[in-house]
Amino acid sequence: MSRAFVKEDSDQPEHLPDRPLSPHPNYMTPEGHRRMQAQLKQCEQEISALKAGADWAASSRLPPLERDLRYLRARLKSAQVIDAAALDASRVRFGCTVHFVDEQGTQHRFRIVGEDEADIAQGLLSWTSPLASALLGQEPGDSVRWQRPAGELEIEITAID
């Protein structure tokens, strides 16, 4: 076997580079903040359990967990929790759910949340996304042009929760 494929320090887990941190303010909903705190606690518990065991195969799972731990700590430290209930409900803002219809008459509903909370399949839209940028500050009845990679689309806001 060629030495080119053998890691010199194979008994040590590798150190992974940190996950990139967003340059934007770290806005979070109270729910997103609680979920991230739970993720941090789970990550800490998994790391403790792996370090307590003497299983070398398990130690290979440490680098990604330690990287995630650093990321979660950094994001929680910079978190700015925003409670949407305390904000003006007449305009689209962080934490609200916005309903709109597109040119084809298709109804859409998204909640505007923090970057780490975003999950388009769950209807959770990052406040830094192009769609959220087009919607923020608008009122029901307003029409806006959404610049998409597939082309511009006109949408009309129908309701805000």
* 40 CB-side CA count, 13 A: 14
CATH of region 14-81: 1.10.287
H-helix or E-strand spanning residue 81:
strand 79-81
What 3-state DSSP class applies to 107?
Answer: strand
**Ranges of H-type helices in 3-127:** 30-52, 56-59, 62-77
User: 8: pLDDT confidence band, cut at 50, 70 and 90?
Assistant: low
16-73 pLDDT, tens digit each: 889 999 999 999 999 999 999 999 999 999 998 888 876 666 778 889 999 999 999 9
Domain boundaries, the chain: 14-81, 86-160
As a whole number, mean pLDDT of residues 75-98 equals: 92
Percent of the chain with pLDDT over 70: 89
Structure-token pair, residue 140: 């029901």
Pairing of strands 143-148, 151-160: antiparallel
Asked whether the beta carbons of 95 and 113 are under 8 A apart, the reply is: yes
CATH of region 86-160: 3.10.50.30
